[in-house]
Amino acid sequence: MGETAYRIEREIVIDAPVEIVWRTITEPDQITQWFADRVDLTIEPGAQGYLGFGEQGGPVVVEVVDPPTRFSFRWNHPSGGAPAEGNSLLVEFTLEPGEGETVLRVVESGLDLLTWSTADKQAYADEHNEGWADFLGRLDRLVTEGATG
């Protein structure tokens, strides 16, 4: 089927400089204001942490930290195992600075490689496409309303 079978991708233009957007997606006290409500995470490659969403959540492992343009982590890997390609999903944030604005793209990939059923993969893709749209909307409001101070 190829990696495009389940495309989870969202892009948003935020009316703020890239440094502010970077801070908002990488600093735990900022992340809790638009994304996970429990954030235990050090933003450095290989760092293991936790993102909690109410009753849900789980461990994450940071992959790439390249300020202020690239940040990625893996999540949804099997309990007790280390996340790797084929057993987890990779969430990548890419920031493109513009004139006083930032294009923020989030791509969640690796779903095709998982051993989940087709129905489960499709449900996950649908849910996360909607979810990222909501989260990025919240991030946009947070940043543009000056809440990042």
Q: What is the pLDDT of residues 24-66, one digit of tens each?
A: 999 999 999 999 999 999 999 999 999 999 999 999 999 999 9
Asked if the structure places residue 57 within a domain, the reply is no
The pLDDT tens digits of the residues spanning 82-122 come to 888 999 999 999 999 999 999 999 999 999 999 999 999 99
Asked if the structure places residue 103 within a domain, the reply is yes
CB 89 within 8 A of CB 70: no
Asked if the structure places residue 85 within a domain, the reply is yes
Asked if the structure places residue 97 within a domain, the reply is yes
Where are the extended beta strands (E) located within 4-125?
8-14, 38-40, 48-53, 56-66, 70-75, 89-97, 102-109
> Distance of alpha carbon 107 from its chain centroid, rounded?
8
Question: Does residue 1 surpass a pLDDT of 70?
Answer: no
Total count of domains within the chain: 1
Structural domain of 121:
3-35+64-144
Helix axes 18-26, 118-144, angle to 10 degrees: 130
Asked if the structure places residue 123 within a domain, the reply is yes
Kindly report the CATH number assigned to the domain that includes residue 91.
3.30.530.20
pLDDT confidence tier of residue 4, bands split at 50, 70 and 90:
low
For residues 17-27, average pLDDT: 97
- Pick the closest to residue 89 from 72, 105, 101, 104 (CA basis): 72
Q: What is the DSSP letter of 94?
A: E
Asked if the structure places residue 98 within a domain, the reply is yes
Asked if the structure places residue 25 within a domain, the reply is yes
Question: Does residue 2 surpass a pLDDT of 80?
Answer: no
> Distance of alpha carbon 131 from its chain centroid, rounded?
10
Q: Long-range contact list for 35-43, CB < 8 A, 24+ apart?
A: 35/135, 35/138, 35/139, 43/71
Q: Indicate yes or no: pTM above 0.85.
A: yes
3-state DSSP assignment of residue 22: helix
Look at residue 82 in the predicted model and tell me its pLDDT.
83
Asked if the structure places residue 132 within a domain, the reply is yes
Look at residue 80 in the predicted model and tell me its pLDDT.
83
Cβ count near 2 (within 10 Å): 6
